[in-house]
Amino acid sequence: MAKSKKREPVILITNDDGVTAPGINALIESVEGLGKIVVVAPDKPQSGMGHAITIGNPLRLHPVHIFKNIEAWQCSGTPVDCVKLAVDKILHRKPDLCLSGINHGANHSINVIYSGTMSAAVEAAIESIPSVGFSSLDYDHEADLSVPKKYARTIVENLLKNPLDKHLILNVNFPAASKSAVKGMKICRQAYAKYEEDFVERNDPTGKKYYWLTGKFMNFDKGKDTDVWALENNYVSVVPVQFDLTNYLLKTKLEKTWKL
Amino acid sequence: MAKSKKREPVILITNDDGVTAPGINALIESVEGLGKIVVVAPDKPQSGMGHAITIGNPLRLHPVHIFKNIEAWQCSGTPVDCVKLAVDKILHRKPDLCLSGINHGANHSINVIYSGTMSAAVEAAIESIPSVGFSSLDYDHEADLSVPKKYARTIVENLLKNPLDKHLILNVNFPAASKSAVKGMKICRQAYAKYEEDFVERNDPTGKKYYWLTGKFMNFDKGKDTDVWALENNYVSVVPVQFDLTNYLLKTKLEKTWKL
């Protein structure tokens, strides 16, 4: 039997900063030529939306022509909605890979749970689409993303050559450091580090009170195998993520204690 | 030193169906007398909000007087916002326990990720507040919640007597079955079961296309140790949940394959 020509992989790209964010453009540029790219991203910033889905309202999809030779759509929903709609209504099949980002801001440690960028990646993996979320610790929208672009391409090339797992999710964060300062990649676990919340309390123009979320980032985790440690030491952190939230240790403990 | 009188535990109650949903009233009734109850819940339905937080907008808090002798507040944000605001601006301390629900609808299997009810519980546990989310498979808002109320009280009594872990999260789901049909509780793992998505495609009154999320629930998991199995067999399912999303198996695999 003649060997059939290998099909070009389909790469779905999304983010949570919205389709016009520089980060998504950088991600497209970084993987150009590695497959057929289709973009489906939110039509407005959706940071902090976590794994929210739109169930009580309709969703809209509009084609956008802002990336050269790339099919792109903007969606009125959350990052997770974008992945769902892309598979069901645009691609009509599962892509080979889903990439999310590059996020303008950190998604290490507990941020993985709040992040729309990472939730899009998690959603893809639930659908058996291997996925990677990319985030830069540089919050500046005009930041130089050449380091993230270089590593993102290496990671995607690697995953396309050696598919590891249909439920694979990687949470990749880039330190805000120059090319020469970055020491390489490190495979890590999620640090127990989080924001210590504090709400700013103010009065609106009519004198009514309102609250605005703020917070100080605190690392309670002294491990040197965490994403926060890696980033502080100028490594690109790579955390493999899962969507089975079962706490198996606590399950064993409960089975012994509760004696059902 | 004289033994000091034991302080009454503080129980924070929230949900994602909103402060006026019958489920939250049932949860309050079920734990009455076990501690000082404070309610902080969304001012409108927030189902499917996952772990969303409000970062680009202010939040409002208003006292509500709909529960007899119970301090209650409605919040304009998500279930996760409610927990954050409750700790920082209402209680000014961590409660001893956070309860979320009783949700009108299932939060077993992959629903744990989309559920505002469960995300509120997860948020509390991140803050070192042991927490339990309760959900009924009966979607009827007027459903008889006497079975959930009975088991919720047993679980809460148990947790207050034998504190297990400050990061404890339990995802408790109740079958839509009569008191006599329910066989008891089962400690389970999260099933790999999910909705196979399909969007309804329609035209709005101006002729423009919109999409509305729908889906068919499919169980791909044949295990008899899962929450879906337990519920199908008329058990109350109890899944211990964690917020460390690191996939340690994949981490080991990557360390071997990538050879960094």
Please report the pLDDT score of residue B1 as a whole number: 46
Distance CA A239, CA B245 (A): 9
Q: Which has the closest alpha carbon to A38: A84, A88, A81, A99?
A: A99
Assess contact for B55 and A213: CB atoms under 8 A. Answer: yes
Contact across the interface for A47 and B60, Cβ inside 8 Å: no
pLDDT tops 50 at residue A1: no
Mean pLDDT of B216-234: 97
Tell whether A211 is covered by a domain: no
- Please provide the DSSP assignment of A131-160 as one string: EEEEEES---TT---HHHHHHHHHHHHHHH
In A, which residues are within 8 Å of B158 by CB distance? Answer: 258
Query: For residue range B69-118, what is the model confidence (pLDDT) as tens digits?
Result: 999 999 999 999 999 999 999 999 999 999 999 999 999 999 999 999 99
Please report the pLDDT score of residue B5 as a whole number: 61
pLDDT tops 90 at residue B197: no
Tell whether A212 is covered by a domain: no
Q: What DSSP element (H or E) covers B123?
A: helix B116-126
Query: For residue range B130-140, what is the model confidence (pLDDT) as tens digits?
Result: 999 999 999 99
CA distance B4 to chain A (A): 28
Which one of A45, A50, A213 has the shortest CB-CB distance to B51? A50
pLDDT tops 90 at residue A130: yes
CA-nearest residue of chain B to A244?
A: B190
Distance CA B53, CA A48 (A): 5
Q: Which has the closest alpha carbon to A123: B118, B113, B117?
A: B113
Please report the pLDDT score of residue B213 as a whole number: 94
Please tell me the least confidently modeled range out of A23-32, A192-201, B220-229, B243-252. Answer: A192-201
**CA triple B137-B126-B191, angle to 5 deg:** 35
Tell whether B217 is covered by a domain: no
The ipTM of this complex is 0.94
Please report the pLDDT score of residue B4 as a whole number: 54
Measured CA to CA in angstroms, residue B87 lies from A70, A151, B99 at distances of 47, 40, 13
Please report the pLDDT score of residue B72 as a whole number: 98
Query: For residue range A235-259, what is the model confidence (pLDDT) as tens digits?
Result: 999 999 999 999 999 999 999 998 8
Tell whether B216 is covered by a domain: no
Distance CA A106, CA A172 (A): 10
Please report the pLDDT score of residue A162 as a whole number: 87
pLDDT tops 60 at residue B48: yes
Ramachandran bin of A259, using left for φ above 0, alpha for ψ from -120 to 50, beta for the remaining angles: left
pLDDT tops 70 at residue A112: yes
Distance CA A128, CA B220 (A): 12
Distance CA A71, CA A154 (A): 23
Residue-range definition of the domain harbouring residue A38: 10-190+223-258
Distance CA A232, CA A217 (A): 13
Distance CA A51, CA B145 (A): 28
Mean pLDDT of A55-81: 96
Q: Which has the closest alpha carbon to B26: B189, B135, B126?
A: B135
Q: Which has the closest alpha carbon to A151: A183, A123, A105, A127?
A: A183
Report the CATH number at residue B180. Answer: 3.40.1210.10
pLDDT tops 50 at residue A87: yes
Which one of A54, A56, A187 has the shortest CB-CB distance to B254? A187
Distance CA A170, CA A162 (A): 14
Tell whether A101 is covered by a domain: yes
Tell whether A4 is covered by a domain: no
Tell whether B209 is covered by a domain: no
Residue A91, classed as helix, strand or coil, is: helix
Q: Is the dihedral of CA A65, A68, A71, A76 positive or negative?
A: negative
Q: How many domains does chain B have?
A: 1
Please report the pLDDT score of residue A260 as a whole number: 82
Q: Which residues pair with A75 in a beta bridge?
A: A42, A61
Interface test with B, best of A206, A212, A254 (most B CBs within 10 A): A254
Confidence of residue B123 (pLDDT cuts 50, 70, 90): very high
Tell whether B251 is covered by a domain: yes
Confidence of residue A218 (pLDDT cuts 50, 70, 90): very high
Q: Which has the closest alpha carbon to B26: B116, B182, B152, B131?
A: B152
Contact across the interface for A60 and B210, Cβ inside 8 Å: yes
Measured CA to CA in angstroms, residue B43 lies from A45, A144, A158, A207, B95 at distances of 24, 42, 47, 21, 21
* High-pLDDT (> 70) share of chain A, %: 98
In B, which residues are within 8 Å of A55 by CB distance? Answer: 47-48, 213
Which one of A199, A201, A253 has the shortest CB-CB distance to B164? A253
Q: How many CB pairs under 8 A join A and B?
A: 222
CA distance A1 to chain B (A): 32
* High-pLDDT (> 90) share of chain A, %: 90
Q: Which has the closest alpha carbon to A184: A146, A140, A150, A234?
A: A234
Query: For residue range A177-206, what is the model confidence (pLDDT) as tens digits?
Result: 999 999 999 999 999 999 988 899 999 999
In B, which residues are within 8 Å of A49 by CB distance? Answer: 50, 52
Q: Which has the closest alpha carbon to B168: B198, B131, B140?
A: B131
Contact across the interface for A185 and B110, Cβ inside 8 Å: no
Confidence of residue B164 (pLDDT cuts 50, 70, 90): confident
Q: Which residues pair with B240 in a beta bridge?
A: B170
Q: Which has the closest alpha carbon to A98: A15, A178, A217, A213?
A: A15
